[in-house]
Structure 1
């Protein structure tokens, strides 16, 4: 039997999908291996941005040219199938990952399986599928797939489709199972956690109440949520966020500080509503770690519109901003519109990037000398032990145990992380 290697790109949802595919393959008797010894590579793709798609295309070609069979899964088959090398052995859509064993068997015999078309009619509940249990501190629990938004620039919805929320009892079951296996952090993931449950008569706040009622010392990181949904149950959500088991972390993308650009983006909320949500959280949640996303250079973004975004950033002062340069995605409405000159987009992006680093550094500097509680995650990429504070700021320690809650003194700060040492 072929040895299989899985490469996953993009969001935490893709990570969870990869663990499902790995579990199905192991159950079927396949060996999951490192790349060097693999006969077949599954490339679990992301296609949210044009540069990402280009990287996916090159990576697939590189793996095929190395003599390996390649199976492509993830969002790229839905967003731009023409970008996939025709020599691949199989192509699976995001709602066809339960066919991964069939795809590998086809590749072994030289046949080609393509399971992308008709994905809208397929309805698989991924919480009913197995997962591999890797060693670690954090475990991703998908709470749904798809969204209820109509953003004019987004191609991800072509892959994930309309919202399908997973039943609360299944989500809670997976959380309990993960905790029983020693995980200390639960990452709730979806394309938009803010609209969870709208299709099954519940909402995110109710789900969080059930999860925080579970016994044990653990933390929950809630994934990205869009303002147009959050505002519908704002008070209820803020109240449950006060529970000590939920990280004081809010990922609330604004995308633009100009109402006209938001309208063109199809975002279905106003700048005022975004600020109302932020103010409500900050009023009740001390030291909230606010993350947001901003797209610069969207078609029609005037100098005034960009300055409105800059002024919003200065008013709100998020802890972190994910700044993206607009890039048209195939099949989207916005791709038909005339774009801005590349030099102007780069100029605005660089300005906003400098501003966000300045604000982040000023915010993080307030932690200098303080004692904070930290959940350690394990070895850092550049040495030491990586951990997360209770508002999910990254902190690096010189040493320490993994998967433990520690008291830590912050000894140094930067715009992107904190440095600390265990308190004796």
Structure 2
């Protein structure tokens, strides 16, 4: 049997896929390596959302093979642009074929090569029916669906994930209860678009949240990204669900542009006014809302006026955090065929938004100084101190704290991307579990 290391990139959804593959490998008798260096095989679970990310994935696969490792490529890149993947890989699995990971390793051990990149229309698996690897920690990712209902002209991820497939509410609830029973204190609901959850099976995200918050226990729920055109359809009941103390007051609502013509060209199916309506209602009824959004700069056809409209929207709405991306054409997408903006112009617009977003974020975070707020402690931070998440999912660095505790903390100082605080008193302890497989 082989020693295998699973290396995940991209979204939390990919992390969940990685844990599924780890559990399947263990069940098949393989050993999980602690580092790539100690592994016989490295599974590179790729992301392909942007062109620079694609280059990074291709380079990483090549580096591993050059160092003597056998590599199995999985994730979105194998659907979006398989031509950039080194031909020396020992196997290739699409996102709908991760249940074949143990088979891929076994075939590679015999000198063969499994390539399974079925189109989402040809093969569908319910990933909540597959095993997961339980690890020590505070947060647990629960996928609630795969695919989406949008057809954005710039997005290649949909080529991999396909059309919306929502997982049955009873399976989601089963996983949440199991995670809580094992000591996890934060449930991260993950999807390509949580806003359209259930539209294909006669339910919706708000109803799912109501079912989860009805579960006994002191825990928190982080809702993943939702698109405005779906969120607005269930706005009232969604906001009602958010008012539960178990739901982080965190809204990831990507606007992508502040210009309606650019939104139309992007195929986003909502207007700037609808985005602002959602934000206004959430802020009115959900105190302390932490608004995160995404903006693409340099989209084909973005004029100076259109970009300025985006700047003005940011100034009006003042999101807590903005993920600014420079547009890059993705293979097979409609927008890739259109006339592209000069690279220097895209970079300059990105810098303008970056400076603006940091200034706004710092001003917002400064308003927290001196406040005492609830924090769920996650554990040691990468750059020192103890990382936690506030009631609205802002990152806070504490001087001390035990992973899994819910504590009160006073905010002492801030940066643009984090808060810094001191615990004032503790909460319930968290008991970690050792690695095991869900049966």
Q: Same fold (TM over 0.5)?
A: yes
Q: How many Å separate the matches in 1 of 2:283 and 2:91?
A: 48
**Residue in 2 aligned with 1:312?**
313
Structure 2 equivalent of residue 154 of structure 1: 155
- Give the whole-Å Cα distance in 1 for the aligned partners of 2:228 and 2:119: 31
Paired residues of 1:93 and 1:119 also in contact (CA < 8 A)? no
| Deviation for aligned residue 1:118 | 3.9
Determine helix, strand or coil for the equivalent of 1:304.
helix
Matched, 1:266 2:286: no
Instruction: Tell whether 2:47 aligns with 1:43.
Output: no
| Runs ≥4 residues deviating over 6 A | none
With normalisation by structure 1, the TM-score equals 0.99
Q: Give the Å deviation of 1:112.
A: 0.6
C-alpha contact (below 8 Å) 2:96/2:118 kept by paired residues: no
CA drift at 1:178: 0.2
Residue 311 of structure 1 deviates from its aligned partner by 0.3
Equivalent runs, 1:66-215 vs 2, <5 Å: 66-215=67-216
**Offset from partner CA, 1:204-246 (integer Å, 9 cap, x none):** 0000000000000000000000000011111110111101000
Is the Cα–Cα contact under 8 Å of residues 365 and 414 in structure 2 kept in the other structure? yes
Q: Which runs of 5+ in 2 are unaligned?
A: 426-439
Figure out how many residues of one structure are paired with residues of the other and give that number. Answer: 424
**Corresponding residue for 1:10?**
10
How far apart are 1:401 and its partner, in Å? 1.1
Corresponding residue of 2:437: none
For the aligned residue pairs, the C-alpha RMSD in angstroms reads 0.6
Q: Partner of 1:406: helix, strand, or coil? A: strand
Q: Distance in 2 between matches of 1:119 and 1:297?
A: 30
Which one has more relative contact order, counting CA pairs under 8 Å at least 6 apart?
Answer: 2
Structure 1 distance, partners of 2:87, 2:402, is 47
TM-score, scaled to structure 2: 0.96
For residues 197 and 120 of structure 2, what CA distance do their matches in structure 1 show?
21
Question: 1:63 touches 1:70 (CA, 8 Å); kept in 2?
Answer: yes
User: Alpha-carbon deviation of 1:158?
Assistant: 0.2
Question: SS state of the match for residue 121, structure 1?
Answer: coil
Is 2:62–2:86's contact at 8 Å kept on the other side of the alignment? yes
Quote the residue 1:30 is aligned against: 30
CA distance in 2 between counterparts of 1:208 and 1:9 reads: 27
Answer yes or no: is 1:366 the counterpart of 2:371: no
The alpha carbon displacement at 1:402 in A equals 1.1
Q: 2:196 and 2:181 mapped to 1: Cα distance? A: 28
Determine the C-alpha separation between the residues in 2 that align with 1:322 and 1:118.
30
Q: C-alpha deviations, 1:70-109, integer Å up to 9, x for none? A: 1000000100010111110100000000000100001111
- In the TM superposition, what whole-angstrom CA distance separates every residue of 1:245-273 from its partner, at most 9, and x where no partner exists? 00000000000000000000000000000
Distance 1:154 1:342 in 2: 19
Deviation of the 1:279 alpha carbon = 0.4
Partner deviation per Cα, 1:30-71 (whole Å, 9 max, x = no partner): 110021211111000000000000000000011111111110
Q: Deviations over 1:357-415 (max 9, x none)?
A: 00000000000011111000001001111000000000001111110000101111111
Residue 117 of structure 1 and its aligned partner are, at CA, apart by 3.1
2:235 is the alignment partner of 1:239: no
Instruction: Describe how 1:56-71 pairs up with structure 2 within 5 A.
Output: 56-71=57-72
**Separation in structure 2 between the aligned mates of residue 131 and residue 231 of structure 1, nearest angstrom:** 33
1:308 Cα deviation after fit: 0.2
Cα distance in structure 1, aligned partners of 2:2 and 2:67: 16
In 1, the alpha carbon distance for the partners of 2:330 and 2:119 equals 21
SS at match of 2:121: helix
